[in-house]
Structures are given as C-alpha cells and as structure tokens.
C-alpha cells in the first residue's frame, strides 16, 4: 500500500512540474518607453537595440515602443525585428499618437511585438518593396524581393499568431488598413486611446514564455538616445550625407588649388570620412558616385586647360546627373530632397567654377612683382643709353640699354630683361 501511495504522489508531482504555471514577470513593474518617430535606418536600429539592453539590464517589467514611421531600410528593419523577438522582456509596439502610421518596414516591426496596439486615427500597411524614387522595381528582381519579403512577413505573423494572409497582402498588394480594421483582421491585439489606456489593457496580460504582466503600480522611464545613436541617425539621413560629401569635396579641392591653407583641407577630410561612413548603410548607386568624381576631375582640368568654360559646363552636368542617381531610393525617405539637391548643386558648382577661374587667371596673367613684373611697363630715360644708361620705372632706377641711342626724358617701354638690365624701346609719340 505504501508503495502504491508513493507512486500516486510521484505521478501527481510530475504533472505539477510538467504543467506550465502562470507567473508574474520577474522584471518588476517599471516600464521602459522607447519613442521611434522617424525613417527606419541604422541609427534607429541601434537606438532600439541599446534600449532593449538597457531595459533588460535594469530589470524593467516591459518595453513600450511608440511607433510612427513611413518605413525605411529592410536590413535595419530585420535587425530590429530580431532584437524584438530575442528580447527577454515583453515588448509592446504602440502605433501612436493619433494620426501616426506604421507603413512599409513599420508593418513587420509592429507584428513582431509580443503585444501590438494602435491609437485612434492611425493606419498600418503598404509594405510592398519599391525601387528608385519610389517606383516599382519591375522584372525578375521585383519578384525575388517581393517573395522574400512576403515570406518574412508571413513568418513573423505566424510566430505571433497574427493574420498571416493579411501580412502577405500588405507586401504583395500594398494593402493598408485603419486601427479598427486592424483589430478586426487580427493584425493587432487591441486599440488604446492613449498611453495610460494602453497600460491598463496590457496589465495582467499573459505573454507566452514571459509570464503575466503586473503593472498596478507602474513607473515610466523614457529611454534617451545615446550620442552614438544621434550621430548614426543624423548621418544616416541621405540629405545630410550628401551635404557632407559636397563639403568634403569642396574643402579638398580648395586645398589643392591653394596649398597650405590647411583649414579647408581638414574640414573637407573629416566631412568626406563621415559621408563615406554613412554610405555604408545607405542604398548608394556607384554610377552616381563616379559621375560626381568625374565632375571634380573636370573642374580640376579647367584650371589647367583653356576650355573656354566647356569643362565647367561638363562638370556641372556631371554633378547634376550624379546627384540625381546617387541614392537608389529603394525605400521611402532614402532619397535626397529636391530643395537640398538643387541648392547644393548651385552653390557647389558656383564654388568650383569660381575657384577654377581664379586659379586659371592667376596662371595665365603676367607677374606683378619682381623683375618679371616690369615687362610691358613704361618708364622714363634718366641717363642717355649709349648703348647703356638708366631708366626710371616703378619708382626705381634700373640699368637700361636700347638698340638705338635714347636721350634723357624719352618715354620707353620695357620689352625684355637680361641679368637685371632692362631692354627698352622708345614709345612712338
């Protein structure tokens, strides 16, 4: 009997061990708030990664991400999704404030969250990949990119038990829906009027593999961007990286045209390095880069060759074409603003043309100092040339000689210099 009783007790104990118990998340009741209201780029991805690490290290109960984005780079989006899925702390994505959107890359980021919510007047969708300038990519490449993104969207939706069919349609058909439709279609978990309403609704909610959220006495801590994140976020903007490149090229060009000035070269070098760093994470078209480099070569040649402005015109045209082609624009926000493009091209082109003209003029103009500067100047004979005498020119007396004798007071022109002796000719009266 004792043996049977022991077996029964062991059986029930094993059941208790195997049955997963509901438990409150051990991280506490504090909430880490991460605000993302920008294009998805490497700077934003770094901000989210460091925010999640901060929340995990300091034992926060959950992370709330307020999201408002038109989309961004696919690589940065995937990095953010990986961080959200790997988070040890429950992650809530809240599309807010009113009127915000989670478009393109924002769709998959929202669906990757443990809890997804939206504020009134918001929308989600339109995740179809686009090409340069927002145009459709077209051809076989379009099919490959679309199929890959659709499969990724389905995978994330299935992982979080959301509407897999809608996720695929958001990619393939660019469908976009309101917060009410998203709730009905099982794209999000619920809608919330504001942050307080959101916290009330997630309080007590069970998160698979992470327990139950207990937020009765919560405290919100807003995670601020680090200096590294701010730099990445700033130079990750195509407009900023383009301006940095132009400043860099102009600075180095000025230094080459006027060696020894130093300051323009230093500023240009630093700007160019920052621009190249940002190009590593932006969709760069290298044809555009080559055209811009060719434009600089044209301006340099303008200093050496008398092209009567043709090389400068070619440089301006190359600058314009290269700038238009520089960024692939495969995602919203990843192309240069037309106002920035136009004003920068005008300013930089005028700068290059002006410097080229000044250098060329200095090279072809006659010397204005020293003995060489006397050729072509006029003077007055002070001592008769028989054949050598003295001539007064530029406030000084110089040795002079002439082919024919010239008397004192004769007005002459300097035609040649030989060992500091001026060869002069009489000026016709």
Annotated domain spans of the chain? 23-224, 236-362, 371-426
Tokens matching residue 247 = 């400043």
Q: Any idea which of 58-67, 251-260, 267-276 has the lowest mean pLDDT?
A: 251-260
**For the chain, how far is it from start to end, CA to CA, in angstroms?**
146
Contact 179, 118 (CB under 8 A): yes
Contact 305, 311 (CB under 8 A): yes
Contact 105, 140 (CB under 8 A): no
* Active-site annotation, residues: 104, 144
Q: Is the dihedral of CA 65, 126, 207, 120 positive or negative?
A: positive
Domain 23-224 = CATH 3.90.226.10:
yes
Place 289 in a pLDDT band, splitting at 50, 70 and 90. confident
Angle (CA) 131 165 197, round 5°: 95
pLDDT at 397 exceeding the cut of 50: yes
Residue 93 CA to its chain's centroid (Å): 26
Residues whose CB falls within 8 Å of the CB of residue 97, separated by 6 or more in sequence, listed in order: 66, 68, 119
Rounded Cα–Cα distance for residues 185 and 169 (Å): 12
Alpha-carbon distances, residue 323 vs 142, 293, 333 (angstroms):
25, 11, 16
Place 190 in a pLDDT band, splitting at 50, 70 and 90. very high
- Starting at the earlier edge strand, list the strands of the sheet with 123-125: 101-103, 123-125, 176-178
Q: Which residues sit opposite 425 in a β-bridge?
A: 413
Q: Any idea which of 23-32, 63-72, 176-185, 223-232 has the lowest mean pLDDT?
A: 23-32
Please tell me whether residue 41 adopts helix, strand or coil conformation. coil
Rounded Cα–Cα distance for residues 110 and 64 (Å): 11
Place 256 in a pLDDT band, splitting at 50, 70 and 90. confident
Q: Any idea which of 64-68, 349-353, 423-427 has the lowest mean pLDDT?
A: 349-353
Other residues' Cβ atoms within 10 Å of the Cβ of residue 69: 25
Other residues' Cβ atoms within 10 Å of the Cβ of residue 339: 9
Tell the CATH topology of 371-426. Answer: OB fold (Dihydrolipoamide Acetyltransferase, E2P) (2.40.50)
Rounded Cα–Cα distance for residues 176 and 120 (Å): 15
Place 364 in a pLDDT band, splitting at 50, 70 and 90. low
Contact 107, 203 (CB under 8 A): no
Other residues' Cβ atoms within 10 Å of the Cβ of residue 193: 13
pLDDT at 10 exceeding the cut of 90: no
Other residues' Cβ atoms within 10 Å of the Cβ of residue 78: 18
Q: Any idea which of 48-52, 115-119, 137-141, 286-290 has the lowest mean pLDDT?
A: 137-141
Place 276 in a pLDDT band, splitting at 50, 70 and 90. confident
- Whole-structure pTM over 0.75, yes or no? no
Question: CB-side exposure of 67: number of CA atoms within 13 Å?
Answer: 37
Query: Could you tell me what percent of the chain has a pLDDT over 70?
Result: 82
Residues whose CB falls within 8 Å of the CB of residue 226, separated by 6 or more in sequence, listed in order: 47, 50
Rounded Cα–Cα distance for residues 16 and 196 (Å): 37
């Amino acid at each position: 009997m004792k043996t049977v009783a022991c077996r029964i007790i062991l059986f029930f104990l094993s059941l208790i061990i195997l049955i997963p118990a509901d438990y409150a998340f051990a991280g506490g009741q504090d909430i880490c708030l991460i605000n993302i209201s920008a294009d998805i780029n490497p700077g934003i991805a770094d901000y989210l990664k460091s925010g999640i690490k901060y929340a995990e290290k300091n034992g926060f109960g959950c992370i709330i991400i307020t999201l408002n984005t038109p989309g961004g780079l696919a690589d940065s989006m995937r990095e953010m999704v990986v961080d959200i899925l790997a988070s040890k702390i429950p992650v809530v994505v809240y599309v807010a404030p009113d009127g915000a959107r989670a478009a393109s890359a924002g769709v998959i980021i929202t669906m990757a969250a443990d809890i997804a919510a939206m504020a009134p007047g918001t929308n989600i969708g339109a995740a179809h990949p686009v090409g340069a300038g927002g145009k459709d990519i077209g051809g076989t490449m379009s099919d490959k990119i679309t199929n890959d993104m659709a499969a990724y969207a389905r995978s994330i939706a299935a992982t979080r038990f959301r509407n897999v069919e809608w996720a695929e349609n958001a990619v393939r058909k660019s469908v976009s829906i309101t917060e009410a439709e998203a709730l009905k279609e099982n794209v999000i978990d619920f809608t919330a009027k504001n942050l307080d309403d959101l916290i009330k609704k997630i309080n007590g909610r069970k998160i698979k593999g992470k327990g139950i959220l207990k937020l009765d006495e919560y405290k919100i801590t807003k995670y601020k961007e680090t200096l590294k994140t701010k730099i990445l976020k700033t130079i990750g903007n195509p407009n900023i990286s383009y301006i940095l490149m132009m400043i860099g090229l102009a600075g180095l060009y000025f230094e080459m045209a006027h060696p020894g000035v130093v300051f323009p070269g230093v500023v240009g070098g630093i700007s160019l390095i920052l621009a190249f760093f940002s190009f590593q994470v932006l969709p760069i078209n290298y044809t555009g880069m080559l055209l811009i480099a060719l434009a600089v070569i044209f301006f340099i040649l303008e200093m050496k060759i008398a092209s009567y402005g043709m090389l400068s015109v070619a440089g301006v045209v190359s600058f314009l074409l290269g700038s238009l082609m520089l960024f692939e624009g495969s995602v919203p926000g990843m192309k240069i603003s037309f106002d920035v493009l136009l004003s920068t091209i005008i300013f930089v082109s005028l700068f290059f043309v002006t410097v080229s003209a000044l250098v060329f003029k200095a090279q072809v103009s006659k010397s204005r100092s020293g003995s060489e500067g006397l050729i072509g100047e006029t003077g007055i004979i002070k001592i008769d040339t028989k054949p050598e005498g003295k001539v007064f020119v530029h406030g000084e007396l110089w040795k002079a000689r002439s082919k024919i004798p010239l008397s004192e007071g004769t007005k002459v022109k300097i035609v040649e210099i030989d060992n500091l002796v001026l060869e002069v000719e009489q000026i016709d009266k």
